[in-house]
Amino acid sequence: MAYENYTVRQFMRAWFDADFSEMSREEFETCYTEYIDTAGLFATENFEKITYIQYLNNRINVVRIAVNTHKEFIEFFGCPLIKHLDIFKRFGYSIKYENKEQFIKELDSIVLRENRYISELEITQKQLDDLKNKSKKKPSTLKESRVSFIRMLNSLNKIGWKIDNDKTMVEELSIIVKQQSETD
């Protein structure tokens, strides 16, 4: 096995820059094969779409639950759950309590603004379905592969995985990719 001996950065240098100073071409080919096999990656575009769909689903559900929880809390107790308003900041919303009616309107406004992500989810799901339905997949260029790989790393980091290109080994990355794709 080779992929447990190389970091993500070393792997990327060999793959995208043809820099074989840290691993030979043969080691790279072995490492790449092990990575693809362990990760179960046959189409990184599919993985990217699946990861983004998961992110959108999580966002939509968390915001919906937070809005409903705050509405129920204010109806039951007559005041908002102030210390938990920071959940909205995570998604780019600033909400303050002045009075009950204004607060409910702000919560309803958040729901309306979140419709954008519901539309985005539907579009991305359709794109994924279209990708799956393609019978022939054109071979990707090195540039497309690099962009796709970097997007995948960014997506994994965005949903909570901590991937340090200088510390994370390719073996660990492939297991993370496999684990994430199995949860989708």
Predicted confidence pLDDT, tens digits, the chain (184 residues): 678 899 999 999 999 999 999 999 899 989 988 888 888 766 566 777 888 899 999 999 999 999 999 999 999 988 888 878 888 998 999 988 888 899 999 999 999 999 999 999 999 999 888 877 764 455 568 888 888 889 989 999 888 899 999 999 999 999 998 888 777 5
Compute the distance between CA of residue 128 and CA of residue 132 in angstroms, rounded to an integer: 6
Phi, psi of 70 (to 5 degrees): -65, -40
At 49 the pLDDT is 83
The CA–CA distances, whole Å, from 89 to 69, 84, 85, 158 equal: 16, 10, 8, 16
What is the domain partition of the chain in residue ranges?
A: 3-43+162-183, 47-131
Compute the distance between CA of residue 48 and CA of residue 64 in angstroms, rounded to an integer: 24
At 132 the pLDDT is 73
Compute the distance between CA of residue 117 and CA of residue 121 in angstroms, rounded to an integer: 6
pTM: predicted TM-score of the whole model, two decimal places: 0.52
At 184 the pLDDT is 59
